[in-house]
Amino acid sequence: MSLVSAAEMTAKALAGKYAVGQFNINNLEWTKSVLLTAQETKSPVILGVSEGAGKYMTGYKTVSAMVKAMIDELGITVPVALHLDHGSYEGAYKCIEAGFSSIMFDGSHYPIDENVAKTKELVAKAHELGISIEAEVGAIGGEEDGVIGGGEVADPAECKRVADLGVDILAAGIGNIHGVYPANWQGLRFDVLAKIKETVGDKPLVLHGGTGIPDDQIKKAISLGVAKINVNTECQLVFAEATRKYIEAGKDQQGKGFDPRKLLAPGAAAISAKVKEKILLFGSNDKA
Ligand code: 13P
């Protein structure tokens, strides 16, 4: 199956009261683990690529070619979208050209009129090519790959302006942040989420910063219109932990334990287990 846009899968998720996971990828192991787990759980999936990760993997063309070939070679039949995460204006055009099936344009750091103008232009371009587009209002807090957000809570009226441009999915800050939440975090602002939902209507909403949000808050967010949830840091943490355990146990020194295919296997298995846990929590299993 070739890549699909994220529009239909998130619209279905909104109607069915579940959420599709966006799992950010960093390399071949990450991609393989996420794709195989989505297939195993019969779940649609979104592979997120930050600009930093795109650069790390040598460029968007490499990522696009790898993902398309891997879907084919692994016989993946569930819907897969390849999505630019927190894209700049230039990055969005590059990913469109490289064959991504979905883009996020994060214009949240621009004044709202400029965010609206740039988003509008990119909506037209993306839709001309059958590519889905996510926009953002009210910056997500914390830092992801050098993109630092102020953690503002989105203004529902501004959300409506951006939603009405025809974006397929809308990210709105509701107290969520990238990375691990600080101990004094006050939780998601469900009052704001409910207002946004009321203002924008049937538009699939995106919850960034999925790492560390308690399960009950995830479920409540889904019940209030969240249809896409992004997870990045949590997969990195379990990958690092599993790799550390392997090395600390001296397994890389036993036999051919230093072989990268062995060395990276526990981390890859840990990603698979985490992705499966999230898919079951989000309820997207058996929805492909
Ligand atoms: P976390 O790294 O906090 O899971 O956030 C992921 C994300 O929102 C990607 O855009």
26 lines ligand 1 (CB under 6 A): no
79 lines ligand 1 (CB under 6 A): no
Atom of ligand 1 lying closest to residue 234 CA? 4
Residue with token string 């808050």:
217
Q: What token pair was written down for 8?
A: 């239909």
Question: Smallest Cα–Cα separation from 32: which of 280, 242, 261?
Answer: 261
Residue of minimum CA distance from atom 9 in ligand 1 = 230
234 lines ligand 1 (CB under 6 A): yes
b/e per residue 115-150 (b: at least 16 CB within 10 A): bbebbbebbeebbeeebbbbbbbbbbbbebbebebe
d(C-alpha 249, C-alpha 247), whole Å = 5
Residue 1: what pLDDT?
Answer: 73
Distance (angstroms) between ligand 1 centre and the Cα of 232 equals 5
Residues labelled catalytic: 85
Residue 121: what pLDDT?
Answer: 98
45 lines ligand 1 (CB under 6 A): no
Half-sphere exposure in the Cβ direction for 53 (13 Å, CA): 24
Atom of ligand 1 lying closest to residue 178 CA? 3
C-alpha distances in Å from residue 7, one per residue of 173, 230, 239: 20, 15, 30
Residue with token string 């997870």:
231
Fold of the 7-282 domain: TIM Barrel (3.20.20)
Q: What is the DSSP string of 190-258?
A: HHHHHHHHHHH-S--EEE---TT--HHHHHHHHHTTEEEEEE-HHHHHHHHHHHHHHHHTTGGGSTTTT
Mutate to test the pocket of ligand 1, among 20, 22, 23, 24 (most ligand atoms within 8 A of CB): 24
pTM score: 0.96
Residue 139: what pLDDT?
Answer: 72
Distance (angstroms) between ligand 1 centre and the Cα of 167 equals 20
C-alpha distances in Å from residue 139, one per residue of 151, 171, 183, 255, 272: 5, 9, 21, 49, 29
Residue 10: what pLDDT?
Answer: 98
Work out the number of other CB atoms within 10 angstroms of the CB of residue 90: 9
Residues 156-207: tens digit of each pLDDT? 999 999 999 999 999 999 999 999 998 888 899 999 999 999 999 999 999 9
Average pLDDT, the chain: 96
Residues 45-99: tens digit of each pLDDT? 999 999 999 999 999 999 999 999 999 999 999 999 999 999 999 999 999 999 9
Atom of ligand 1 lying closest to residue 207 CA? 8
Q: Where are the domains of the chain?
A: 7-282
Residue of minimum CA distance from atom 5 in ligand 1 = 209
Residue 142: what pLDDT?
Answer: 73
209 lines ligand 1 (CB under 6 A): yes
d(C-alpha 104, C-alpha 168), whole Å = 10
Residue 35: what pLDDT?
Answer: 98
In three-state secondary structure terms, 104 is strand
Output helix, strand, coil percentages for the chain, rounded to the nearest 5. 50, 15, 35
